[in-house]
Structure 1
Amino acid sequence: MNVTTLKEDESWQLFVENAGDVANLEYIQPLAKEIARECGGLPLAITVIGSSMRGKTRVQLWNDALDSLRRSEPYNKNVKDKVYNVIKWSYDSLESRDIQSCFLYCSLYPAAIPIDDLLHYWWAEGILGEHDTYEQAYNRGITLIESLKDACLLEADKIVKAQVVDGVNMHDGVRDVARWIASTIGDEHTSVFQAGIGLNKISHMKISASVKRISFVSNKIECLPDCFTKCPKTTSLLLQDNQPLKKIPHEFFLAFPALRVLNLSQTGITELPSSINSLYQLRALIVQRCFELKELAPVANLHNLQVLDCENTELRCLPQRMDNLTNLRLLNMCVADLSISEGFFLNLPSVEMLNMSCSCLGATSLDEISSLQNLTYLSIGVDSSSFFNRDYTWMTRLKGFLIEVGETSIYVPYNKSKRVINVDKCEIFSNGELSGMLQFASDLYLNECMGLRKLISYNTFNGLKLLNIVCCSCSFGQVEGGSGQFDPLPNLEYLDLYLVKNLKSVSDFGQYLSVRFSKLSQLNISRCASLTCLFNDGEVCSVPKHLEEIMINHCYQLVELYVQCSSSDQARLVNSEIPRVQRLKLHDLPELATLGEPQSMWEHLEELTVSYCDGLRKLSFSIQTSKNIKIIEGGSEWWSQLEWDDENFKSNLESCYKKW
């Protein structure tokens, strides 16, 4: 393990950064400096120890930490031993055996781990303790992950799967120590770690019968042995990310009678053997992104299964005897064209999280889902005809959902904290058929929806905070009866308009739907061919006063962002009503010549990005003289040709400019 070391003053500076101001307290500093020296200039050790001492003001805790480090110092004082020593100390300082077990489990992965996968493993293994619901177990797991991150034993990461997901990563040095600790503890944490080493077969590998966990993650394994060593104590078998693996021997799983976690994701398997049905203790079966998997064996004996994840497989029918999976809590069957029989959902009384968004369910399935009393999170696709004459009060039980109505082409990643409805061709709902469901939504996505006013204007949707419209064509002229008496979207914060025809301004959009934008903070507009300005003077100068971010792309008729109100109305736009825009991004707006008035609209701007807006030759005076601007990003030619009221203004902003 190659490790660079820091000088003593650099070590102390890094230690204080991680430990915080407490390290400089008069009665703490001498001990803190001794502890920093004990880290031997190793950045990883300094970060781990410093973070673990953050906020600790009792001198006894600092003395104990110093004594512990000195006592456990190995005879051979080389760099590797020093790192092991420090991380082992941090491990010993973890608050409970549960969190220590979670830490050791992370060492089974050679790289970043999706957080959801990790929590499912911990839950299935029983590490998270006994919890009544999936949500309680999940929350406990998140708490433990945050504790491990605070101790610098894990770090946050992003992982690209079908979408970008949150993950955690373990530093190579920390993983080495975790595996060493696991090997010294005994049977409870004995593991086989052969992950990420290019392995193509495991037929001649000697594996102890007492092994607890086996990881062959991210290899090139082509086949598994017909006769595998009996592993009566193994609870986790991780075989994911072995693309060459096409087939699993029929009796392979008979070797793992105590198995609780099985992950075969991202392998080339076409089916699961019948011996899968012998895994009576199995809690989590994960086969994500097995693009050749067309069939699952009968699962009648998997009574204890809690997690079944088959997302992005080629399954065309559900496995036989799923009615026996009465303990199933999480079912992820995001599979296209899946055949679902009547009564299927009624056999899953314990399900709390259900994802079947790639299938188009009918009215009968929707009725069955509405009867699931434990359901908390839901992601489904539903046929448009299923929404007529329906009661949606059951949705009060849901804490998060993604419901896709019709064959919508808008991709919306599932987020458990959101309550999303994604609708295709909403004009068929001209009599308020969706109103009941929309009452529970936070985000609304509309694709090719022509009956926009009938869908939104005659109800109040207090929960809606995001509205995304794609490919809409409406007549945004004066509507009969003028503006409504109430705002249908009083809490709207985010508006995204893409390919909206006939739209000349956002003000017209607001008047058409009677939306007042009283809480709008972010506005995105793209490819609206008729757009000439964002806001103009109408009956009332309705500029969203809480607007913080504006992004406009490919609007070829846009001339200016704000058209000043006429003198008769100008008094209405008092200073308290003028938005304080902080971020402005403009792209491919060839006719844009000015940002428009009032000047004070831009004086709080922090970030300005301009690209392919050749007509914009001069920035507003409030931007030229701004002390808040941090970044101005644009082409070098555009920047050099800008006109300034005073050349000193350009000099003052030169340090903020960044070439696009």
Structure 2
Amino acid sequence: MGDMLANVLVNVASDYYNLEKKVQNLKRKVELLSCQESDMVARLREEELHPGKRRKSVVKYWLSEVVSKQKEFESLEAKVNQNSPISRVTLAKRADEMIEEVTGLLDQGIFSEGVVLDFSETIEEKFVTVEWRGQAFKENLEKVRMSLLGNEVSSIGIYGMGGVGKTTLAQCIYNELKNETSFCSNIFWFTVSQDLNIPKLQNDIGKALNLDLSGEDDKHKRAAKLGWALERKKRFVLILDDVWTPFLLQRIGISPSLHGFKMIVISRSLEVCRNMECQKYLKVEVLSNEEAWKLFMNKLSYVNRLPPKVEEIAREVVKKCAGLPLAIITMAGSLRGVIDIYDWRDALEDLKESCVGQDVMEDEVFPILLCSFNRLRDPMLKRCFLYCSLYPEDHGILRHELISNFISEGLMEKRRSRQAYLDQGHKILNKLENVCLLERCETLQELGVKMHDLIRDVALKITKDDYMVKAGLQLKEIPEEQEWKEGLVKVSLMWNRIEGISRVTSPKCPKLSTLILRSNPLKLVLDSFFLQMRGLHVLNLSHTEIEYLPSSISNLAELNALLLSRCYKLMFVPPLGNLKALKELDISNTVIKEIPQGVESLTNLKCLDTIGSRIVKISSGILQGLSLLQRVTLPRLMTIPIEEVTGLKQLEEIQGKFGNVHDFNIFMKSQPRDGQLNIYNIQIGESFPYLYGIGLGKMITFGIDSLKKGERGTDEITLPRNIERVHFYRCGLCSCLFDDIQQLNNAIELKHCYVGNEVGIEFIVRLSFEKELTVEEEQQSRLMPLHYLESLCLENLPNFIGLIWWEVAPTVAPVPHGHFSHLRSLTISYCRKIKKLLPRSLVQNLYNLEELSVNSCAKMEEIIGDDESDGGLSAESNTNITLPRLKFLQLINLLELKSICKGTIICHSIVGIRMKSITKVRKVPLFLLPLNGQPSPPPSLKDIKLWEKDKGWWESLEWDQPNANSVLHPFLDYVWNARMLQS
């Protein structure tokens, strides 16, 4: 026992006195281990440059143990330096243990069997993707693949609504790129998700690169290490899925300019793709009807066709899915194996009755689409989005109409001017389009938007307690009284077949702020109907057949907007003096004959629309008191009393008729200098109704005798600088348009000009250049309105002889390059003196011309002729002329026309040619492209319509190219009715 105790004491003493020696021994071994670690890391870097090489798990473990022992030694050494007598023995024992552990790591670090595994011969990791691929899917796949393989595009943004198949497309792209040897299998996929976490994303990328970042807290060093690792990959593709919030790639360690770097960003938002600096964008659209059906049948797993009755129902089910792949796959999965027709009917009925449909649809589809709404963040965007659900399913909505409704409803942030509201509205719609909650669509009038059916279902689900929407359902009666819940905020019954409101006495809806009954054949509304709707802010009865408004409307004290446009039978509106909150009154296109009683006291009124009504006079003082008016439209039957509008300092939009130029000038001079009319359609004097009825824009029409000498006095005409469209109709113009109206020379935004029935007009513009222009003079000419003019229509001008009058001697006088260079449409009709339409030097400017129409000009001899200055002796008289965008050429009733052009006209974009009674022309100078040694028709040509009586003339024409007549023969269409030439 004593010997044992003695040995223990000796060992303790040895540990106590030899601690420093043991620590020094351990330090040498740790330093040797660090050197071995450096060699190992260098070896791994070299090995992993080769495709398919991955470090062994045992190597990963060894490296982690080395790091661990290094940290432990640093801790041990620090404690030894504290020189605590109590712990010296314990520390010495730990030093002995670590010496053994480090020695083991040194022996293990040789790795004679190698440090990496070779996976180059094994199957690459790939996504399990869909087997069914429609045509659009295949086209998108190929577009992205080719872009990534090329050198021009390094980053692509793939966007579209939730559930449309963006991720599926990207997974297929991932698999395709795995087969491409050019990227050495360096295809990396990372899901970002809604809550962007840069450190986590760095860690994920680090793991894919076998780079351990767990021990590095400094964000800059983490990014530097990642950047270094990626740079060594030479060529790689980074796919970022489900990106909701844009971020700088440099934050995670990626330089976009890195050679060989390619990136795909997948998002629901175009804005996110833009902010991620993608160079190319691809929107994934919903499926076509046929592709939707094929996908449904594929997922339904039916070997044979469905029974006819079941197929009919199934197609209705697919239609309700509105082309959204996620919805189609979900519905197909829920109906897989269902045979009984009763089950199919029930499924369809369930879809029709509920917002989203069966539980499986609600569980799978609704949450995904709801995410897009929740991510809007901005309450204003949410309000405007939900408002769109008040329209019928699959209904295109005009942008300007929707924005006007946003203003009426007070959905947007407050702005000082109406133009600012309009700008804000367009910004909102653009954002909703960019995140794929709205779709852009073409309407008959202008660009519009619409909601995808399932997106609309989501909106209705969100608003089910606040909105009652029964729009476009062909209802003949308004909903039953029990459906009018007390908590309703908005009710839309638009686009139905409701003829009268008599069944429901008075719905109790104290919170109701919006009631939309527009586009119904509504004739009658009971007076009691509005009694319990005292909180109503917007009442829309537009496009109905109502004749009289109920008197109870006079008591809707909180009403902001009363919309009665296109109530073509409306004759009477009750007194409105109590509606002190009213900001918008629209009685346009009604048969109302007087401004409603009490309007003069509506001091908050900002919009008053009466155009198209029967009002012929406004009583003195009515408009003067409405100082906040921003928009006024007045019927053409009345002349604007100048004293009524000169005090309207907030006016931004006006449509109406001034009696003469003097009153118009007074009005223009009364406008604030720092402000400017943004939208206007002003007529001066009398004119044709169709010229007045074009609609709001930036347009002024000078009517009968309004510019006649003696009528306008000595005043210069005060035109708005932003005028875009100007019409002259029998107004009394003199010989040269731009001389007569000097202010046109400052109208650099002028795009459309019409001149009709003017006896005095001879030219459009006078040029007096006697030498070629300098660069400065050329640039100055581009500031003239003729540079921006897009359409010019000249009709019934008996003394008109040419577009340009030259005030020079017969020397070189070229048309300045800026003149008419934006012209897209040129129409000349019933101008009986003009002999030559276009001088050759002018044609070189017409590279944007799309339509050229010349009709009934009795003395017209040439369409394109020589310049006046060369006397017809130019060496270039017979050279080719190119009109690269010309689509339609119409030459009608030109009995003296001898030449269309000396030489040949090259216009590969031509779509249609119309010719009648030009029988003195011996050659149609259309150049036909040679194909295999033979002339071929222009690729865009659809038809050549000729007057039936001119068949012999056509067949006798001379052609520069052999077989030209036979080549064009399939396109000939002989017509006997002059109207058919216009189609």
State the TM bucket, normalised to the shorter chain: 0.7 to 0.9
Q: Offset of 1:147 from its aligned partner? A: 1.6
Partner SS state of residue 892, structure 2: coil
2-side partners of 1:356 and 1:28: how far apart? Answer: 64
Match of 1:65 in 2: none
The answer to whether the 8 Å contact 1:285/1:307 transfers is: yes
Tell me which residue corresponds to 2:734. Answer: 452
Pick which of 384-393 and 320-329 moved more: 384-393
Q: Where does 1:242-281 land on structure 2 (aligned, <5 Å)?
A: 242-243=520-521, 245-281=522-558
Tell me the alpha carbon deviations over residues 551-596 of structure 1, each in whole angstroms, 9 at most, x when there is no partner: 2143354443112236457669999xx8856225322525455431
| Cα distance in structure 2, aligned partners of 1:528 and 1:509 | 23
Deviates more, 1:207-216 or 1:50-59: 50-59
Q: Superposed, which structure 2 residues align to 1:25-64 within 5 Å?
A: 49=268, 54-55=273-274, 57=276
Alignment of 1:150 with 2:434, yes or no, is yes
Contact 1:232–1:258 at 8 Å: present in 2 too? yes
Task: Assess, with a 3 A threshold, how the Cα gap between structure 1 residues 624 and 582 changes in structure 2: closer, same or farther.
Answer: same
Kept in 2: contact 1:421–1:438 (CA 8 A): no
Q: How does 1:498-513 map to 2 (within 5 A)?
A: 498-507=795-804
Q: Alpha-carbon deviation of 1:15?
A: 6.2
Task: Find the partner of 1:231 among 505, 509, 512.
Answer: 509
3-state SS in 1 of match to 2:531:
helix
- Select 2:425's aligned residue among 101, 119, 141: 141
Which structure's residues are more often helix, by fraction? Answer: 2
Cα deviations by residue, 1:440-497 (Å, 9 ceiling, x for unpaired): 4442201123433487524342114432012222374999x9979999x941313211
Q: Distance in 2 between matches of 1:612 and 1:354?
A: 45
Normalising by structure 1, what TM-score? 0.78
Contact 1:328 1:348 in 2 (8 A): yes
Residue type matched to 1:356 in 2?
A: L
Structure 2 matches for 1:605-616, cutoff 5 A?
606-607=909-910, 609-613=912-916, 615=919
Asked if 1:22 is matched to 2:157, the reply is yes
Question: Which residue of the partner structure matches residue 7 of structure 1?
Answer: 132
DSSP 3-state at the match of 1:22: strand
Distance 1:344-1:270 versus aligned 2 partners, 3 A rule: same
Q: 1:48, 1:152 within 8 Å by CA — same for their partners in 2?
A: no
CA deviation after TM superposition for structure 1 residue 143, in Å = 0.9
Partner-residue secondary structure (3-state), 1:380: strand
Cα-to-partner distance string for 1:379-411 (whole Å, 9 max, x where unaligned): 111223753884732345322321111221042
What is the correspondence of 1:272-311 to structure 2 with a 5 Å cutoff?
Answer: 272-311=549-588
Q: Distance in 1 between matches of 2:915 and 2:736?
A: 38
The aligned amino acid for 2:792 is: L
Once the two structures are TM-superposed, the CA of residue 131 in structure 1 deviates from its matched residue by 2.2
Give me the TM-score of the superposition, normalised by structure 2: 0.55
Q: Identify the residue that residue 404 of structure 2 maps to in structure 1.
A: 120
Mean Cα displacement is larger for which, 613-622 or 127-136? Answer: 613-622
In the alignment, what sits opposite 1:331? 608
- The answer on whether the counterparts of 2:615 and 2:635 sit within 8 Å (CA) in structure 1 is no
2:524 counterpart SS class: coil
Indicate the residue corresponding to 1:596 in structure 2. 901
Conserved? CA contact 1:633–1:658, under 8 Å: no
Q: CA 1:52/1:290 → structure 2, altered by over 3 Å: closer, same or farther?
A: same
With over 3 angstroms needed to count, the CA separation of the structure-2 counterparts of 1:86 and 1:7, relative to structure 1, is farther
Q: What is the distance in 2 between the residues matched to 1:181 and 1:522? A: 48
CA distance in 1, matches of 2:785, 2:542: 41
Per-residue CA distance 1:149-186 (angstroms, 9 max, x = gap): 223332334555xxx35432223333223212322xxx
How many angstroms apart in 1 are the aligned matches of 2:333 and 2:274? 30
Q: Is the 8 A contact 2:923 2:958 kept in 1?
A: yes
Q: Percentage identity across aligned positions?
A: 22
Alignment match, 1:366: 642
**Partner of residue 491, structure 1:** 785
- 1:562 corresponds to which of 850, 860, 864: 864
1:471 is matched with which residue: 757, 762, 772?
Answer: 757
1:630 to 1:560, Cα distance in 2 relative to 1, 3 A: farther
| Kept after mapping to 2: 8 A contact 1:336/1:358 | no
Query: Which sits farther off after the overlay, 277-286 or 579-588?
Result: 579-588
RMSD over aligned Cα atoms? 4.7
1:175 partnered with 2:448: no
Structure 1, unaligned runs of 5 or more: 37-46, 60-68
| Distance in 2 separating the partners of 1:224 and 1:545 | 62
For residue 706 of structure 2, what is the aligned residue in structure 1?
Answer: 426
Q: Give the superposition deviation at 1:341.
A: 0.6
Conserved? CA contact 2:506–2:528, under 8 Å:
no
Match of 1:634 in 2: 943
- Asked whether the equivalents of residues 74 and 85 of structure 1 are also in contact (C-alpha less than 8 Å), the reply is no
Q: Which residue of 1 aligns with 2:591?
A: 314
Q: Is the 8 A contact 1:354 1:377 kept in 2?
A: yes
1:98-124 Cα distance to aligned partner (Å, 9 max, x none)? 212211111111123333332233223
Q: Does the 8 Å CA contact 1:548/1:579 hold for their aligned counterparts?
A: no
**2:578 and 2:529 mapped to 1: Cα distance?**
17
Alignment match, 2:853:
552
SS at match of 1:268: coil
Q: Contact 1:121 / 1:261 at 8 angstroms: preserved in 2?
A: no
Deviation of residue 84 (structure 1)?
A: 3.8
Change beyond 3 A, Cα 1:169–1:144:
same
Take 2:628 and 2:724, find their aligned partners in 1: how far apart are those partners? 26
Gaps of 5+ in 2: 1-129, 145-154, 159-172, 175-185, 192-237, 243-265, 279-324, 336-356, 771-779, 809-813, 974-982
Local SS of the residue matching 1:345: coil
Aligned to 2:886: 583
2:718 alignment partner, SS class: helix
Counterpart Cα distance in 2 of 1:391 and 1:643: 60
CA distance in structure 2 between the partners assigned to 1:27 and 1:589 by the alignment: 63
Shift of 1:315: 1.0
User: Residue in 1 aligned with 2:961?
Assistant: 646
SS of the residue corresponding to residue 157 of structure 2 reads: helix
Counterpart of 1:40 in structure 2 is: none
Q: How many pairs are equivalent?
A: 615
Letter aligned with residue 425 of structure 1:
D
